[in-house]
Amino acid sequence: KFTPVHNMNGNLEDKDKNSDDERIRILQWNVLSQALGQNNDSFVCCPDEALEWKRRRYHMVQEIVSYNPDVVCLQEVDHFEFLKKALKTQGYQGTFFPKPDSPCVYIKDNNGPDGCAIFFREDKFKLIDTQTRILEVWRVQSNQVAILVTLEDRRSGKRVCIATTHLKARNGALLSTLRNEQGKDLLEFVDANARGAPVILCGDFNAEPTEPIYATVMNHESLALGSAYSTKHNQEPSYTTWKIREEGEVCHTIDYVFYSKDRLNVEAVLKFPTGEEIGQDRVPSLKYPSDHFSLVCDFSYRDPKSE
């Protein structure tokens, strides 16, 4: 039997009250592409059954719906139709944008390209606008993408702009520069399309907080972004992914939820499971379906008078 290994923190415990008010609960998660996870990642301690689609897909859906998020931002989605169908039964509507040359399509028996997806609760939000972008590096399209949606709260009429991305993976100075350039293009894309709405920008940035891209995001003048986990705990978490590949164990922070710090307050964030709870084989595992943890954050609108 699957039991979520997360600990709840603060207001996240009132998960059923969530849809009643103006609060926005967002779940950010690199779900692990089915094709890549089974054929490319070489997770050495993960049992084969844990990666079987027929089993894993329900863990993915369970992980998402158990937190009752208002908005869901996902990366490495290569089974959008399944997620769309499953999440529709729970009241969500979604959009998908694939990578132009996804590594998934080179894998035998793949299910198409992977990409980013955003889902939102239809009873809470009206969709105002959807934009997609193939991120550019020095004005040339790269293989990484972003999606942006502008949502309007059906009760209050307040708007929020949600964007998500999955930046270029792997280490090295050149790739760190590439991610920084992708990030600059991403910020320009968000700034051009937010149209005055508060922004929540989340994703798998494939960069630790010490990389240039982190400072580029945090120092963007007009967007004025903060990082939700860092605001709440005065520092980024110690890890957002923890896996053992053939080349060794990897445990670091590369996923973030950035937000307009003058327009939104962070009310609560979901704690990650401890090393002990995760277990020595790390993730993915029979208990947890991805190599990245889900980040869950509650935001409230800031009273303009208090600024």
User: Which spans of this chain sit near ligand NDP (rule: CB under 6 A)?
Assistant: 30, 36, 40-41, 76, 99, 101, 103, 106, 143, 168-170, 204, 206, 245
Identify which of residues 33 and 260 has a Cβ nearer to ligand NDP in the complex. Answer: 33
Identify which of residues 120 and 242 has a Cβ nearer to ligand NDP in the complex. Answer: 242
Q: What is the separation of C-alpha 68 from the centre of its chain, rounded to a whole number of angstroms?
A: 15
Tokens (6 digits) for 157: 């009429």
Cα 116 from Cα 30, distance rounded (Å): 9
Please report, for residues 144, 181, 259, the alpha-carbon distance to residue 101 in angstroms, rounded to integers and kept in the order given.
9, 19, 29
Cβ count within 10 A of residue 30: 25
Smallest separation (angstroms) from ligand NDP to the CB of 241: 7
Identify which of residues 104 and 297 has a Cβ nearer to ligand NDP in the complex. Answer: 104
Residue 12, SS3 per DSSP: helix
Identify which of residues 40 and 93 has a Cβ nearer to ligand NDP in the complex. Answer: 40
Element (H, E) at 129: strand 125-137
Smallest separation (angstroms) from ligand NDP to the CB of 254: 7
Q: Which residue has the tokens 């007009």?
A: 222
Please report, for residues 32, 124, 264, 307, the alpha-carbon distance to residue 303 in angstroms, rounded to integers and kept in the order given.
38, 20, 9, 7
**What are residue 260's phi and psi, to 5 degrees?**
-70, 105
Identify which of residues 193 and 253 has a Cβ nearer to ligand NDP in the complex. Answer: 253
Identify which of residues 203 and 226 has a Cβ nearer to ligand NDP in the complex. Answer: 203
Smallest separation (angstroms) from ligand NDP to the CB of 198: 27
* Residue 274 DSSP code: P
Smallest separation (angstroms) from ligand NDP to the CB of 44: 11
Smallest separation (angstroms) from ligand NDP to the CB of 121: 27
Smallest separation (angstroms) from ligand NDP to the CB of 57: 18
